[in-house]
Amino acid sequence: MRKIYLSTFFLTFCLAANSQTTTFDRVYSILQTNCTGTCHNTANHAGNLDFTAAEPNVYTALVNVTPQNSAAATMGNKLADPGNPRSSFLFKKIARGLDANLSLTAAENPTTHDTLAVMTQTEREMIRQWILFGAKDTGNFVNEQP
């Protein structure tokens, strides 16, 4: 009887551990929800980004990748620069007032997303912190609960 309880506990623990949401899982969901409507999908790879792709493919397309925007590339930006949201073109594009010291130059095409709804402050902050904490595809580094 004891073996059955122990086995059930172990199985439950393993399933719970495998079902945990990582920080990048949440970032991926935010990008799919907010960015795939007209620009970053299988039909239109704006910036060479398809956020409808599988999660590992989106991760590979973002982290330490030089943006196609030549002004951002010249400044040494990456789409997601691990540890540095201010040199992450992805975050600069979505910040829209979240960071008062962060703005796009005219050459970085700051009005590209002006016709789209602004992500919530929580969504933008989630992406900022994901980048700040190393833009990892595993682990849970950001807790949305107070």
Tell me the average pLDDT across 76-105.
87
140 pLDDT tier (thresholds 50, 70, 90): confident
Give me the mean pLDDT over the 95-122 stretch.
74
pLDDT mean across residues, the chain:
77
Q: In angstroms, rounded to a whole number, what is the distance separating the alpha carbons of residues 65 and 71?
A: 14
Q: How many CB atoms lie within 10 A of CB 121?
A: 11
Which is higher by pLDDT, 128 or 144? 128
Proportion of the chain above pLDDT 90, given as a percent: 38
pTM listed for this prediction: 0.77
Q: Which residues contact 102 (CB under 8 A, 6 or more apart)?
A: 86, 91, 92, 95
Report d(CA 56, CA 109) in Å as an integer. Answer: 28
